[in-house]
Amino acid sequence: MRRSATARDASAGRVLGIGHGMVCGGEPDQSRAARARSIQTPDDLRALIAHHEAGHAIACWHFGIRVTSIRIDASGRGVCNFKMPVDMAERIRTRAPGFERLVEVADTVVVAIFAGYYAGLRYAPDAETPSEHDEALARQLLDAARAVRTYGAREEALRCIAAALVAARWGAIEGLARMLLRDGTVNVEGRAA
Ligand SMILES: [Zn+2]
């Protein structure tokens, strides 16, 4: 998981944001994606990752999570950086002041993480995007939320929301993926909710 020092507004007393990178993709010859029937060339893999990253970004925008950058390089490695409250999992787990609200925010971040997976799955149903960073961050947030909740089965609900959101916003995801494939990045300034 990438963390970049983008915290600001401390003096204004706002919740600090830190950049989290959902770094996805990887070496084509090591990925399940590369072995899938529909994903055979580096260009195929790059297109898959572009849809995966676009899924993250469209879901972030849907929930008002600020995306700070989104890009994909020539080798097919993609990144979608976004902001979330600093030490969110720890503050939830320790029931820090305002943790109830943070649990709600964590839910939306988890949906945005899962949306990358489901966008990739919708683009290439027999492929799977390698995304260890995504899984680690989602697990961290889900575990923290589970520690303060008295009910279970939350992960499945969030997965359903992510899959439904990807289906509902598929046109936007495809459009953003096309821009990423053409330009390698998209200017996200002004797109924050
Ligand atoms: Zn991802």
Residue 187: count other Cβ atoms within 10 Å of its Cβ. 10
Give me the half-sphere count of Cα atoms (radius 13 Å) on the Cβ side of residue 54. 29
DSSP string computed for 33-87: HHHSTT--SHHHHHHHHHHHHHHHHHHHHHHTPPEEEEEE-TTS-EEEEEEEETT
How many A from CA of 168 to the centre of ligand 1? 19
Query: With bands split at pLDDT 50, 70 and 90, how would you rate the model's confidence at 52?
Result: very high
How many A from CA of 12 to the centre of ligand 1? 32
Q: Which of 52-61, 88-97, 113-122, 182-191 is the least confident region?
A: 182-191
Please calculate the CA angle 115-129-35 and round it to the nearest 5 degrees.
150
| 173 has pLDDT over 50 | yes
How many A from CA of 134 to the centre of ligand 1? 5
How many A from CA of 56 to the centre of ligand 1? 7
pLDDT of residue 193: 40
Measured distance CA(144)–CA(141) in Å, rounded: 5
pLDDT of residue 192: 43
Q: What is the pTM of this model?
A: 0.80
How many A from CA of 13 to the centre of ligand 1? 31
What average pLDDT score do residues 186-190 get?
76
Choice between 187 and 177, residue whose per-residue pLDDT is larger: 177
Choice between 191 and 98, residue whose per-residue pLDDT is larger: 98
- Are the beta carbons of 2 and 21 closer than 8 angstroms? yes
| 56 has pLDDT over 90 | yes
- Kindly state the tokens that stand for 52: 């995966």
How many A from CA of 120 to the centre of ligand 1? 9
- pLDDT digits 0-9 by tens, 6-30: 333 332 223 333 444 555 544 444 4
| 86 burial type by CB count under 10 A (0-12 exposed, 13-18 middle, 19+ buried) | middle
How many A from CA of 131 to the centre of ligand 1? 5
Query: With bands split at pLDDT 50, 70 and 90, how would you rate the model's confidence at 112?
Result: very high
Identify the CA nearest to 180 among candidates 69, 40, 97. 69
- Kindly state the tokens that stand for 114: 């899962």
How many A from CA of 153 to the centre of ligand 1? 22
The full set of domains in the chain, from first to last, is: 2-180 (1.20.58)
How many A from CA of 52 to the centre of ligand 1? 6
Query: With bands split at pLDDT 50, 70 and 90, how would you rate the model's confidence at 167?
Result: very high
CA distances from 104 to 99, 122, 158 (A): 9, 26, 11
